[in-house]
């Protein structure tokens, strides 16, 4: 067991060149889409890319599975709900906490994926905020394929609709500023 824990720790460290997975946004998005569509959240998959705060969180609703049409109003509602889900929880708790259950769930799902990868399962896709070349930014939350030795492949963003392209254009300057602030903090 200790050997597995050490391997998991090394794999997680390799996978997470930044200290947080972005699965919280991903699972929140799947819950929100499931509510709108009347589906079970376990059958919904929504890629969420970008960052982990407000407008930097970009749900790629055009790539969700199962695929179905959304009105502009539904797209606006879901995007807002996904981008501000953490804030909603903090406000609901009157500032006395955060989305701890969502974070714990995301961490457990990510750890489970790491364990499956360590056992040799292939094709495991997770969203995580890592150093990458998916965009012009040095760090970006996107889908990656993980395996025994960590990240095996950085998946492209894929086709985005105009709404998502505009969201990405809006997110990049904010993300760039946050990344620069983080890099500056680490160098202190």
Neighbours of 76 (CB within 10 A): 12
Classify residue 95 by burial, with Cβ atoms within 10 Å: 0-12, 13-18, 19+: exposed
pLDDT of residue 27: 59
The whole-number pLDDT of residue 15 equals: 44
DSSP 41: G
Residue 104: the pLDDT is 83
Strand (E) or helix (H) holding 139: strand 139-147
Among all residues, which ones are annotated catalytic? 52
The pLDDT assigned to 16 comes to 43
Predicted confidence at residue 68, as pLDDT, reads 84
pTM for this one? Answer: 0.78
Per-residue confidence (pLDDT) for residue 59, from 0 to 100: 93
Q: What is the pLDDT of residue 41?
A: 79
Return d(Cα 76, Cα 67) in angstroms, integer.
Answer: 17
Structural domain containing residue 84:
2-187
What local confidence, expressed as pLDDT, does residue 11 receive? 46
- Stretches in the chain below the pLDDT threshold 50: 1-2, 4-5, 7-8, 10-21
Give the CA distances from residue 110 to residues 123, 147, 165, in Å, rounded to whole numbers and listed in that order.
Answer: 14, 13, 27
43: domain CATH number?
Answer: 3.90.110.10
Q: What CA–CA distance (Å, rounded) separates 153 from 108? A: 22
**What pLDDT sits at residue 103?**
78
Q: What are phi and psi of 97, to 5 degrees?
A: 170, 180
Number of domains in the chain: 1
- Specify the pLDDT at position 29: 75
């Amino acid at each position: 067991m200790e050997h597995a824990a050490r391997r998991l720790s090394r794999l997680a460290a390799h996978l997470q060149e930044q200290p947080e997975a972005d699965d919280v946004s991903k699972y929140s998005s799947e819950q929100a889409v499931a509510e709108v569509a009347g589906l079970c959240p376990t059958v919904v998959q929504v890629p969420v890319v970008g960052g982990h705060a407000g407008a930097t969180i970009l749900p790629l609703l055009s790539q969700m599975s199962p695929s179905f049409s959304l009105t502009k109003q539904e797209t606006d509602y879901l995007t807002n709900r996904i981008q501000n889900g953490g804030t909603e929880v903090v406000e609901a708790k009157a500032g006395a906490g955060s989305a701890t259950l969502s974070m714990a769930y995301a961490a457990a799902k990510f750890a489970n994926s790491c364990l499956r990868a360590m056992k040799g399962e292939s094709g495991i896709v997770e969203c995580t905020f890592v150093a990458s070349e998916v965009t012009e930014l040095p760090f970006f939350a996107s889908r990656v394929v993980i395996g025994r030795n960590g990240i095996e492949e950085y998946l492209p963003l894929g086709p985005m609709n105009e709404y998502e392209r505009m969201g990405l254009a809006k997110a990049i300057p904010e993300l760039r500023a946050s990344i620069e602030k983080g890099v500056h903090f680490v160098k202190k």
